[in-house]
Structure 1
């Protein structure tokens, strides 16, 4: 019988919920710490390293059969790759309008706060802004979508699904994804001190949970992890655009 894990790891683990929980603790704890530190120093370069490690996790732990099982394969429904991109784009723009409606230009607006980590100069011409946007968008469309989807919707989801089924596994991986993103917004570093924003955090976490479920739907419908990656990629592109143009352009 084929096994999802490489021979070395079978000595220590079975491909089940315990392994999934182990991965969440092992990878997400340093990720949260590094993001919080990045908010203090205004630099997220070390977070990119955690994304890279998340991306290679399936290749470290899983056999060829295991990698195929988590969705690293050709899509069976290519139409859903386009749908996935549209879904991600629409949700990111919706989240922009939601933040504007409730919190305007304040730091309680998630996109406003996240935008600070881009270190965009207060005075920047259109050409400079376009160059910064392109660079930031390319980074946002590579590290995070590939790293987080191969990790959360890939190896973590499938390990929980082996024990609990896909529906419960999608709730668990989405919840883990949402909680991790409190480090990006929710527990904020403002005026040289930490502050927790209960209501904005609740909205943000719920939004991250919902979009995470959408990532899984795109993976399932497309028949490949690529569906989730493209939905996530489009979401990040939309978010980056909203930060650089409607928000910075105020």
Structure 2
């Protein structure tokens, strides 16, 4: 990314963070979607354990906003059904299902066991690369990340610059209690796996239940140092050996 563009986006993010400090999440979302300087945005949603809150706010502000859903081919059947239920319930009219490149799957994961041997490459193949290609049509993207989720997210701003695009985190300051209260207040549908002990829901082979008192993301890539799939890393988006097709 050219230095002048980096500086421009960084300054824009800083100004938006200053202007919207302490603002309600719905105001942040509405401002981002209607500010011409922010550009065209898509929301990226996993339709996971807490996703319905931000999707609900979007439905009240601009339900025709593109929502990118990464269908990795390894999601729980419950997640696929939940995605359809939530989209229909909230009236979201432009959910786009994003899938990994079929040639990449054939070349690098023909047996579907890459996650056991190299979880990072599996995530790059099934999540990071497909999302990066899908985001090429947009100037920025909206996420449901929150500061309380991991140590790496503790200082997360409402507006960030990530790989030449603005990234907006309207729920950055929300707590687990805030999420639960919003779901209750608006009687939003819950992901069915949450009641079974899955506090954070990703791909089926790499997600386990969490015990009482455990961190909500303890069940993601359990037993490994890995805590992120890679779609929120600003640098190093290189996919050695992966198919270069669109």
TM class by shorter chain equals: under 0.3
What TM-score do the two structures reach when normalised by structure 1?
0.27
Q: TM-score w.r.t. structure 2 length? A: 0.27
More strand by share: 2
User: Which structure shows the higher helix fraction?
Assistant: 1
Higher relative contact order, structure no. (Cα contacts within 8 Å, ≥ 6 residues apart)? 1
